[in-house]
Amino acid sequence: MNQIRKFLGVVWVVLAIVAGYYLIVSQAIPKFESPKPEDKIPAIIYAFILTPIIVGGLLVFGYYAIKGEYDIYEDAEHHLHIKED
């Protein structure tokens, strides 16, 4: 199960990169290039608010999953414990 968590950590990191690319290239840039002034506000929201929140959250979650911060260990009495330093 811990190996699945580490694999999914890689998935979250890749998803963060794909989401960041999509938000900037497919959403923000076309809105910035639009001649209509009402498209500037969504472009600013996509580029400077949503992208850092989404990408940052997925990257941090994936990083901690890869590092094993969410690993669960079983002791001799078959109790489950989260790894503590």
Report H helices in 1-85.
Answer: 2-21, 29-33, 40-45, 51-67
Spatial separation of the C-alpha atoms in residues 51 and 26, rounded to whole Å: 12
Provide the whole-model pTM.
0.79
β-partners of residue 67 are none
Among candidates 50, 6, 2, 59, which has minimal Cα distance to 26?
50
**Tens digits of per-residue pLDDT, 14-28?**
999 999 999 999 999
β-partners of residue 15 are none
Contacts of 77 by beta carbon, 8 Å cutoff, 6+ apart: none
pLDDT, residue 82, reads 66
Per-residue pLDDT of the chain (85 residues; tens, 9 = 90+): 889 999 999 999 999 999 999 999 999 999 999 999 999 999 999 999 999 999 999 999 999 999 988 877 766 666 666 666 5
